[in-house]
Amino acid sequence: MVTAADYMDAALFHAERGRGRTSPNPTVGAVVVSPEGTVVGHGCTEKAGFRHAEVVALDMAGERARGGTLYCTLEPCSHVGRTGPCVVRIVEAGIARVVASVGDPNPLVNGQGFAFLREHGVGIEIGPGAARATAINQPFFTLVKAQRPFVILKAATSQDGYVAEGPGRRTQLTSEVANRHAQRVRAEVDAIGVGVGTIIVDDPFLTARGVYRESPLVRVIFDRTLRTPPGARVLSTPGAGPVMIVTGPAGAARTEARRRLEERGADIEIVEDGTLRSALELLGKRQVGSLLLEGGPTLHQTAWKEDLVDYVRLYVTPHVLGSNGLRLLNGQPFHSAALIDRRVSPLGPDVLIEGYVHGPH
């Protein structure tokens, strides 16, 4: 027998389908169930400016939605943005009841969607699937509540806890299996960030390779003194997405260096107090909801000390580098066992350890 929990599981499944496609909007799934208990419509939110999940599901259901129940993973919107309010479509479709996982913290919604539906005779139930729905939408919730991106610290380490053989030495640790996984992660985030030291030592392209992205990937270089070389390979790939160099007052004073980088297409942003928190708030104003922080260890250490890391994704390899190497977080205390909802997965010869720093909320 199909239960209400099964219908919400289906809505959550459709929400998962939207990962990496909807930013800065939330990732939402919806299912329309007829009065007879038949699923007559389903969908996930499309990219920004297009249909929300509820509308996709209602369009599929048509007249069969009348008198039925809409299961959705987030409170339906009640305001006019790039699209019209979903609550109006829900009422017009004749939906009798809405079951939603969580409320929408966006001040433009934040309970107003539920209030509108109740005022128009639609029954409301809130809570089923809340934990999964919250986890799926951590980037959106973080952007709304903290005005900065959801930060994922990503690093590859040797078995003895080092990220490189030594200062200034490019060190390849992960296997091809782990590398493919890392590229899939790049396909789901809004932005990827590295420190200028990584640009100088590794000269990465910072692109999502071998995977499909719905939108361009924002590449962010944290460079307080504007040391980024104009010939850096990341600046040779404008088609992959914009390159933003975040610098401080010392970098802003280097006018010739700034001019050369801007000629290569870099977008130079100045953070007056030079802090990483302010840099992340700047990204938040640009509607960057998720940031994959790939290194190096000094940038990771700063993010960790400033309590700006929300999630850790650690690829542990079987290599042993020895005591002359560079340690994860520059030796800052870190214990993966303390991660919340911790998961351990084999990736070829490597092991992926991941989890929340503070938990999904």
Q: Does the annotation count 54 as an active-site position?
A: yes
Torsion of CA 217, 219, 220, 226, to 10 degrees: -160
Looking at the chain, list the stretches that DSSP marks H as alpha helix, in order from N- to C-terminal side: 4-17, 53-61, 86-92, 112-119, 130-136, 138-146, 176-186, 196-202, 249-252, 255-263, 276-285, 297-305
Residues 36-54 as b/e (b if ≥16 CB within 10 A, e otherwise) read: eeebbbbbbbbebeebbbb
User: 3-state DSSP helix/strand/coil percent for the chain, to nearest 5?
Assistant: 35, 25, 45
Give, rounded to a whole angstrom, the gap between the first and last alpha carbons of the chain.
Answer: 32
Burial of 307: CB neighbours in 10 Å, binned 0-12, 13-18, 19+: exposed
Cis bond before residue 296 (omega within 30° of 0): yes
CA distance 359 to 348: 28
**Among the options 16, 46, 54, 165, which is catalytic?**
54
Contact 296, 223 (CB under 8 A): no
Contact 38, 13 (CB under 8 A): no
Burial of 200: CB neighbours in 10 Å, binned 0-12, 13-18, 19+: middle
> Half-sphere exposure of 142 toward its Cβ, with a 13 Å CA cutoff?
27
Q: Which residues are catalytically annotated?
A: 54
